[in-house]
Amino acid sequence: MNMNVYNKVFTEHAHWLVQPRSLEEVQRLLPVGFTSVFLLLQTDRHPPEMTSTSDLEQLAEIELQKDEEEMVTDGPSAPPSRGLSADVSHPYYDVARHGIIQVSGDDNYGRKLIIFSSCCLPPSHQLNHRRLLEYLKFTLDQYVEMDYILVYFHYGLRSSNKPSLKWLREAYNEFDRKYKKNLKTLYVVHPTNFIRIVWNIFKPLISHKFGKKLTYVNYLAELRDHLNYEQLIIPPDVLRHDEKLRAAQKGGPPPSVKTPPPRPPLPSQQFGVSLQYIRERNREAIIPPVLRQTVSYLKQKGLRTEGIFRRSARVQLIKDVQKLYNLGKPVNFEQYDDVHVPAVILKTFLRELPEPLLTFRVYNQVQELLNVESSLRATRCKQIVESLPEHNFIVAKYLLCFLHMVSQESIVNKMSPSNLSCVFGVNLVWPRHGSISLGALTPINIFTEILIEHFDTVFGSRCPPGQVTP
């Protein structure tokens, strides 16, 4: 329907359109195709109670059908390419095997990144949605004590696979304060009118504070400003849909948000450069200054802080501290009066290394750890760690010794080896290419937990010259 027709209808019905009307009255009096426009005006101009929930639910179905019609033009769905859990012993294997939920490392500020992909939802008759909710809670329970980010890929939601609105209400009510408080941002990617209508249905339930966490993302490129885009597990269907949206833009696709071309690092650069680069420009100091200073401060002030390493800090503050380090200027953590600042800086330093501290080479060895008998895993971890280059081994030994100290105060700080492994695993080990799937996280976390809990066994035998302790 062209804009001239819309303008004519709005001119003729301007006063009538802004009055509260029932869905039946709208469908009877307005031309076909204007129902959605009218009810969107209603929900914008009037309190939710003046537009009935049943009307909104019908409108949501109308909009979802429109979305489905557009999906038909996108062609057949591509099969999932990665990230599916193949572990049949998983307690929620029936849900996990679809790859609907993924944990994909951390965002740029150390907050755990959890992805929900609608296009991976099978038809409703093939999936128990109660089990889906339980699996979502099971996944979040591993990370909900720390700050986290949720990315929702909306494309691919259909009438045949969508959970009911009743299910959504139950889900929202079952997620208590800890889930909502520690969720820092909810990114809704490729939103449609369906999302807007559902949001209006839930407005009476959603607090203003929670509502401010919602961020709409129209194109995948916009995520680059906030997340490590290369680590995201994005279904092929979502990638293809994004390309279609960009190509359909008037005057051509919107400009890409590209990573700037790499600049030569500053002589004093500390973040985003190799251990060797830092060592050569810091009088051959084995332990990088960022690591040494954050560990030193946290050892004095943070060992007994509850939830240390689980909380985030103000984004701009972290950027400012990074800038000071990169410019070679002194950093005094005392002035920030927040022990979580050095904790986030430490995680950020590890995450921004061009190669993980434990090197790319160990990734496949770590993934095979589940095939090793439990009683032999510490020995296997020791073999993996002892194969590291000397410099990496010394730095890793320094860091893991400190994390072992943190775990010894777990009665107070609540950071057991298991909890620390959930935070540090993805910052110590990641693949050379692609992202870490939810299934790949399990061996990484087990490996990291063993390094922390059995520090003396794993690191005790190899004592290279120049090694340093915290």
Most confident by average pLDDT, 13-27, 149-163, 405-419: 405-419
Residue-level pLDDT at 192 = 84
Residue-level pLDDT at 11 = 46
**Is 311's pLDDT higher than 50?**
yes
| Between 305 and 146, the higher pLDDT residue | 305
**Is 377's pLDDT higher than 60?**
yes
Encoding tokens for residue 148? 């986290």
Q: What are phi and psi of 233, to 5 degrees?
A: -95, 100
C-alpha 17/C-alpha 48 separation (Å) is: 16
Closest CA to 114 of 79, 160, 83, 81: 83
Across-strand partners of 214? 186
Superfamily in which the 93-247 domain is placed by CATH: CRAL-TRIO lipid binding domain (3.40.525.10)
If DSSP codes are grouped into helix, strand and coil, which group holds residue 184? strand
Does an H or E element contain 11, and which?
helix 3-17
Residue-level pLDDT at 47 = 46
C-alpha 403/C-alpha 397 separation (Å) is: 10
Residue-level pLDDT at 274 = 94
Residue-level pLDDT at 57 = 62
Q: Residue 283: which pLDDT band, with cuts at 50, 70 and 90?
A: confident
Q: Residue 55: which pLDDT band, with cuts at 50, 70 and 90?
A: low
Q: Would the CATH topology of 93-247 be identical to that of 275-459?
A: no
Closest CA to 35 of 159, 193, 165, 166: 193
Domain ranges within the chain, ordered by starting residue: 3-73, 93-247, 275-459
**Is 9's pLDDT higher than 60?**
no
Question: Please, how many CA atoms are within 13 Å of residue 122, restricted to the half-sphere of its CB?
Answer: 14
∠ Cα 270 272 277 (to 5°): 60
DSSP 265: P
> Position 401: which residue type?
C
Residue-level pLDDT at 72 = 57
Closest CA to 266 of 323, 331, 321, 316: 323
What CATH class has 275-459? mainly alpha
Q: Buried b vs exposed e over 208-243: b needs ≥16 C-beta within 10 Å?
A: eeeeebebebebbbbbbebbbbebbbbbebbeebbe
Which tens digits make up the pLDDT trace of 83-128? 444 567 778 888 988 999 988 877 877 788 899 999 999 999 999 9
Cβ neighbors of 211 (< 8 A, separation 6 or more) are 203
Contact criterion met (CB below 8 Å) for 270 and 287: no
C-alpha 71/C-alpha 66 separation (Å) is: 9
DSSP 27: H
